């Protein structure tokens, strides 16, 4: 919000509480900043709003409080800043589609496929993007000896449709596998088990300009992930720890850099993405580039990698936001 040009945009903040209520958001951006381990929260002050379908396009209307039934605001474009289920899995994007309001970022299909790690890799693999060994579980069970041999150790056990690395466990011994699966199933009804890929973790931003051209940023490499609280690039490493620092551009050599950028765009296109995405890879010691995952609604916090990668390439934060909003309005 601080980087949006106030002479061009009137920002109407709307927050969503953990209970799912839409509320008029804080206009003071200091309320929205993380403070160490303390994450910002959306405050429910008793007035709720909703996006009205079938009425004036873009109308947000009060549905509770003294002003119930009155118009809160009429909006031209939505910039979703959300994570996880219902926020970046195509659910809320479907609501925006029904309301006929342009919005920044990916549509229903790309959001749903990008949220589900199984289908991300199916689509990407079909498009020629290298992916690692994996196994999908829809019930809590032990792995067979053949499955254990194919995957090897260590493995990562993840909710297949999770976000922000919540519910992920690294398993070094098979005796610890049942507990890891139980944790993952607490967050999703489908679990993905992935072989650990020994290599450097790199990320690459993808941006689509209003006229449709797609570009990839210089990749970033994450330093210190093994020293984080979780021992890998998990939730704390992303949002809380100070141990993980980015190197932009990633020191992986020209050939690997070019391949990361090529495969980032290829993954973006394979999922029919729109506007933006962050694509994460592993680069092995031999220089092979292997897909980790895609984030179809990357973060825009001060430590988020997506804007940092484009800023490192000479783009201003405000310019990045202008491009994303302009792209959304092209589809109006």
Q: Are strands 14-16 and 22-24 parallel, antiparallel or unpaired?
A: antiparallel
Q: 307: exposed, middle or buried (C-beta count within 10 Å: 0-12, 13-18, 19+)?
A: buried
- Report yes or no: 239 and 34 within 8 Å, Cβ to Cβ: yes
- Report yes or no: 103 and 93 within 8 Å, Cβ to Cβ: yes
Residue with tokens 């106030």: 6
Binding-site annotation, residues: 117, 156-158, 164-165, 194-201, 280, 292-293, 295
- What is the maximum span of the chain, computed from C-alpha positions, in angstroms? 65
Binding-site annotation, residues for ATP: 117, 156-158, 164-165, 194-201, 292-293
Q: Rounded to an integer, what distance in angstroms lies between the CA atom of residue 4 and that of residue 88?
A: 22
- Report yes or no: 218 and 249 within 8 Å, Cβ to Cβ: yes
Residue with tokens 């484009």: 310
Binding-site annotation, residues for Mg(2+): 280, 293, 295
For the beta carbon of residue 201, count every other beta carbon within 10 angstroms: 20
DSSP reduced 3-state for 248: coil
User: Which DSSP string do the residues of 167-211 spell out, in sequence order?
Assistant: T-EEESSGGGHHHHHHHHHTT-S-EEEEEPP-SEEEEEEEEE-TT
């Amino acid at each position: 919000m601080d980087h949006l040009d106030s002479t061009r945009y009137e920002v109407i903040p709307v927050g969503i509480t953990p209970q799912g209520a839409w509320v008029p958001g804080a206009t003071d951006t200091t309320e929205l900043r993380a403070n160490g381990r303390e994450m910002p929260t959306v405050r429910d002050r008793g007035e709720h709003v909703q996006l009205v379908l079938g009425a004036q396009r873009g109308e947000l209307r009060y549905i509770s409080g003294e002003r119930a039934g009155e118009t809160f605001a009429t909006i031209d474009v939505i910039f979703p800043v959300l994570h996880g289920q219902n926020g970046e899995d195509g659910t809320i994007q479907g609501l925006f589609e029904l309301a006929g309001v342009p919005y920044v970022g990916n549509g229903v299909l790309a959001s749903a496929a990008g949220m589900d790690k199984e289908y991300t890799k199916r689509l990407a693999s079909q498009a020629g993007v290298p992916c690692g060994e994996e196994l999908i579980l829809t019930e809590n069970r032990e792995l067979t000896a053949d499955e254990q041999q194919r995957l090897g150790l260590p493995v990562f056990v993840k909710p297949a449709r999770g976000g922000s690395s919540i519910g992920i466990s690294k398993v070094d011994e098979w005796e610890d596998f049942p507990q890891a699966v139980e944790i993952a199933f607490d967050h999703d009804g489908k679990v993905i088990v992935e072989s650990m890929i020994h290599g450097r973790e790199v990320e690459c931003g993808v941006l689509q300009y209003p006229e449709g051209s797609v570009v990839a940023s210089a990749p970033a490499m994450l330093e210190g992930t093994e020293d984080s609280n979780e021992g890998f690039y998990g939730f704390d490493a992303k949002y809380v720890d100070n141990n993980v620092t980015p190197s932009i551009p990633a020191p992986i050599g020209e050939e690997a850099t070019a391949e990361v950028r090529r495969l980032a765009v290829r993954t973006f296109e394979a999922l029919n993405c729109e506007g933006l995405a962050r694509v994460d890879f592993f680069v092995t010691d031999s220089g092979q580039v292997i897909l980790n995952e895609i984030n179809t609604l990357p973060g825009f916090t001060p430590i988020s990698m997506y804007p940092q990668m484009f800023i490192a390439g000479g783009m201003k934060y405000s310019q990045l936001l202008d491009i994303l909003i302009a792209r959304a309005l092209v589809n109006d």
